[in-house]
Amino acid sequence: MTLRKWLSKGSIQIVVLVVMALNLIPLIIAFSTSLRDPSNNTNPLALFQELSLASYKSAFERMHFPEALWNSIVLTGVSVIFVVLFAAMASYPMARLKTKLSKFMYLFFLSGLVVPAQMVLIPIVQMINALHIPTNQYTPIFMFITCSLPFSTFLYTGFIRSGVPEEVEEAAHIDGAGLFQRFWTVVFPLLIPVTVSVIITQGVWIWNDYFFNMIFISGADDSPLPLAMLGFLGDQQNPTQWNVLFAACFLCALPLLLAFLFLQKYFIGGMTVGAVKG
């Protein structure tokens, strides 16, 4: 390697480091501040000046962390299961039938992507009341499923069209399998890569959503993690509480950060399944 090449490699490395540092500074400062006692008001720029879990303890109690975590798991888990089932099933005819109706359905679902939930909220709440669906901590699940359908059916339809050959189905058909059996035993198992993608993309937004939770959930013990964070809203004006607020921020993000740490490959791959195949 020539000196020039070596130098340019070194400078790229430095550029990358600087970019990363700039990008992550807010997180680093917040993390270091969260590790201080709630009463420690020294300048946050002094990194890791104290290592105490007192702020975490306080945040843990204030946000009812175990309950909030459990609520998040239930809400996200149940929603994602239904999203996978409904979206995979709906995409099957859209990918296989080459009729005007199936083309229309595909665009019909896809167009849902452009509608913001905030805009249609009041009619949604009325609809839920009219159907006598009780408004409790599980009500947001209906909206999580609905709002996930546009993108999930887009991913599934694209994948079935390009990744599941019709021949495997013909073979099953000749063996006497009915439509229902064929879908669940032949097609659905072949959808695992895109199912991972759906679980990750939809799971992350549902886990992080505060909006539908805010509308339907009132009790503190019913709140999932992001909603529990809303309880800290006033603290933005009160600098002495920043340590606790930051601890709460990291407690809130911790489950997804851990999931990312262990399932990185799936997160990165899952983001791109739909993107590269277009």
Partner 1 sequence: MSSTVMKKSMYWFAVPALLFYLTFWIFPILRLFQYSITDYNGYAQAYNYIGFANYKELFGSDILGTSLKNTLIYTFVTVIAGNMIGLALALLLNMKIRGTGIYRSLAYIPTLFSAIVVGFLWSYVYMPDYGLISSFLDKLGIANELNFLGDYSTALYSIIFVEIWKTIGTTMIIFLAGLQTVPTDLLEAGRMDGCGSWRLLRHVEIPLLATAITINVTLSLINGLKAFDFPFIMTNGGPGTATNTLIYSIYKMAFTEQLFGKASALGVISFAVIIVITAVFVLKMNKREVSA
Footprint (CB under 8 A) of partner 1, residues 51-80: none
Residues 73-112 touching partner 1, rule: CB under 8 A, are 85-87, 89-90, 92-94, 96-98, 101, 105, 109, 112
* Closest to 210 (Cα-Cα) out of 249, 244, 246: 249
Which residue type is seen at 40? N
What is the smallest separation between the CB atom of 196 and partner 1, expressed in angstroms? 15
Residue 144: partners with Cβ closer than 8 Å, 6 or more residues away: 75, 76, 79, 83, 202, 206, 209, 212
Question: Minimum Å distance from CB 24 to partner 1?
Answer: 6
Among 15, 47, 81, 168, binds partner 1 (CB under 8 A): 15
Instruction: Indicate the SS3 state at residue 47.
Output: coil
- Check residue 154 for interaction with partner 1 (CB under 8 A): no
Binding flags for partner 1, 17-36, as an x/- string (CB under 8 A): --xx--xxxxx-xx------
Which positions from 122 through 141 interact with partner 1, judged by CB under 8 A?
A: 122-124, 126-128, 131
Tokens describing residue 57: 């303890």
One residue of 121, 190, 220, 263 binding partner 1 per CB under 8 A:
121
Among 60, 70, 138, 210, binds partner 1 (CB under 8 A): 210
| Both structure tokens of 124 | 């949604």
Nearer to partner 1, 7 or 271 (CB): 271
> Encoding tokens for residue 159?
């994948």
Burial of 150 (0-12, 13-18, 19+ CB in 10 A): middle
